[in-house]
Amino acid sequence: MSELAEKILKGNLRSIGRAISIIENDECNREQLIDEIFPHTGRAVVWGITGAPGSGKSTLLDGFIADLRAQNRTAAVIAVDPSSPFTGGALLGDRLRMQRHATDPGVFIRSMASRGHLGGIATATADAIKILDAAGYDLIVVETIGVGQAEIEVVELADIVVLVLVPGTGDEIQAMKAGVMEIGDIFIINKKDLDGALKLKTEVEYVLHLKSNNNESEMNPVLLTSATRSEGLLETLRAIDDYLSRMQADGRLATRRQQRIENEVRKIVNAKIRLMAEKHLQIDQKIKQWAQQIGKQKQAPYALINSQLNQLLKDS
Amino acid sequence: MAKKIRILIAKPGLDGHDRGAKYIARALKDAGYEVIYTGIRQTPEAIVKTAIQEDVDFVGLSLLSGAHNELFPRVVELLRENQADDIIVFGGGVIPESDIPGLKEKGLAAIFTPGTSIKAVIDFIESCRSKIEN
């Protein structure tokens, strides 16, 4: 085992920080490192926390961490913020809200820029979770970028998804739409002191009733919080823990985790196939040729692509 | 592809004037760097723990209260104690010219005083790139 992997397993902060950069930069020892630490993963619980920009995700998390630490649980946070599509730069400001935990040895916070990845998280997030898991944190929280309606990739990484909503963002039809509303396990209505918070809670519960066919025991919890006043946080924490126990008892957690592995394997294989296609078949150059034929000579696109690909497979 | 440079902008000490820190954070983001901002009133310990967890290449310290001669070198010292002295530390704020040589002696790589152009800061960062990439 490499020295770096050994230090990660011992919880060395410098090594954990370095390892996440190795993943983010896709440095040459990334795959070996993940393989080394993988046998030591699977112990941590992974939350995803998602919601619109400014809904209070980081501030809620700051409060949750304080309560978790009071229960002697350790926590690591991966806070994702967007990279600029123009300059590649990013201003990572989530940890600002959690900075009171900076010197707590039971808390690790890492800001992560999305680096062009869509879906609310970064390409490196999945492997960064593994590093933090192997380092021994009890709970790992992935805070997504501020999302709109469709950035739902966090559901592929998390054991449980906490969706943060705020009043004043539309009626129950918004809550019935496809996308982000469908991935929540726990619904938080934050900024509960604002007008419309109770109305929103009723509307979300109405939609969740429809989803669960009025079966109370299957209903997703909906909680009111005020992150800045630290109200409703302990109740929410309890609801999350209860929900996770239920998921564990009825087998949903195990199914979800297996599904997560399958998704990851599929992604890795797809990426490798693409690399192989480029390396062995110079596919990129051929795509340019085919595009010429299709664009300039108006050749039928599907017929051309199908016959060319078949030819390539035969030749290789 | 060039390595993505990560920079922590931190405000040690007790002054709450963070316009300069926010300005530089934003400008460095626009220059294509990944910038993490700590907010005001950070202890050197919190800054160093943050720099290590975030695995930054630079820590930029902003201070207007006059405590730079104590707090800036303390950050450098703590980084060294945590085997993180490869992280480059620079400072900015209301710092008398006469204090600059002393700060550089104690490990501050650069000091930027009021009126410095953002280009000077970027030039400084880029001049360190080869050192970081090795």
- What is the number of residues in chain B? 134
Average pLDDT over residues B30-42: 95
In angstroms, what separates the C-alpha of B73 from chain A's closest C-alpha?
19
Q: Tell whether A90 is within 8 A of chain B (Cβ).
A: yes
pLDDT band at B1 (very low <50, low <70, confident <90, very high): low
Q: Tell whether B114 is within 8 A of chain A (Cβ).
A: no
In angstroms, what separates the C-alpha of B55 from chain A's closest C-alpha?
5
The pair phi, psi for residue A146, each rounded to 5°, is: -65, 120
Nearest residue in chain B measured CA to CA from A90: B34
Q: Higher model confidence: residue B103 or residue B133?
A: B103
- Decide if A117 contacts A123 (C-beta within 8 A): yes
Q: Running along chain A, 316 residues long, what does each successive block of 10 average in pLDDT?
A: 97 97 95 98 96 94 97 98 94 94 97 92 96 98 89 91 88 70 92 93 87 76 95 97 95 94 94 89 90 91 94 84
Q: Where are the beta strands (DSSP E) in A169-273?
A: 186-189, 222-224
The proportion of chain B whose per-residue pLDDT surpasses 90, expressed as a percent, equals: 85
Nearest 5°: the CA angle A141, B34, A19 is 55
Nearest residue in chain A measured CA to CA from B26: A91
Fold of the domain spanning B6-129? Rossmann fold (3.40.50)
Read off the pTM: 0.93
Domain residue limits, chain B? 6-129
Q: Higher model confidence: residue B15 or residue A190?
A: A190
Domain residue limits, chain A? 41-250, 264-315
What is the CATH superfamily name and number for domain A41-250?
A: P-loop containing nucleotide triphosphate hydrolases (3.40.50.300)
Verify whether the Cβ–Cβ distance A91 to B33 is below 8 Å: no
